């Protein structure tokens, strides 16, 4: 599906543009990609982000335990210390939020996340 096909506030679900009515829970996607930026972009794309719309990361919430696992998966053994710091800052600013109120293995998407 073309990334521009969805209107502002819609997300792609099973190839269709849908408007989210309230809170939605999805399965925590697998982390794909080699570079931390690609991993984070793939994470959001797997949740329904079209790659174009603005994201509100504080409205994407995962379990704190899952959040720590995501941080570790974002790291790359071939990164320099400065690159690790940059990746950590990127994840802190653009990555999902963490909360123990969300079940492990799930992602809570609050209306307005895209």
- DSSP assignment of 27-49 equals EPPPP--SSHHHHHHHHHHHHT-
* Residues making up the chain, counted from first to last: 114
In this prediction, residue 106 has a pLDDT band, given cuts at 50, 70 and 90, of: very high
**Average pLDDT of span 49-63:** 91
Query: What are the structure tokens assigned to 43, written together?
Result: 């994470």
Q: What 3-state DSSP class applies to 35?
A: coil
Q: Which of 36, 40, 44 is nearest to 85 (CA)?
A: 36
CA distance 95 to 15: 24
For the chain, the straight-line distance linking the first and the last C-alpha, in angstroms and rounded, comes to: 17
**Average pLDDT of span 15-38:** 86
CA distance 100 to 25: 14
CA distance 109 to 61: 7
Considering the entire predicted model, what is its pTM?
0.79
User: Which of 15-19, 64-68, 80-84 is predicted with the least confidence, judged by mean pLDDT?
Assistant: 15-19
């Amino acid at each position: 599906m073309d990334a521009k096909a969805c209107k502002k506030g819609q997300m792609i679900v099973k190839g269709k543009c849908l408007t989210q009515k309230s809170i939605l829970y999805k399965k925590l996607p697998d982390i794909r990609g080699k570079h931390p930026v690609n991993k984070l972009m793939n994470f959001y794309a797997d949740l329904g982000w079209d790659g174009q719309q603005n994201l509100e990361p504080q409205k994407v919430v995962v379990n704190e335990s899952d959040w720590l696992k995501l941080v570790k998966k974002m790291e790359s053994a071939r990164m320099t210390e400065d690159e690790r710091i940059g990746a950590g800052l990127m994840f802190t600013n653009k990555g999902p939020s963490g909360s123990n109120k969300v079940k492990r293995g799930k992602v809570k998407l609050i209306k307005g996340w895209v």
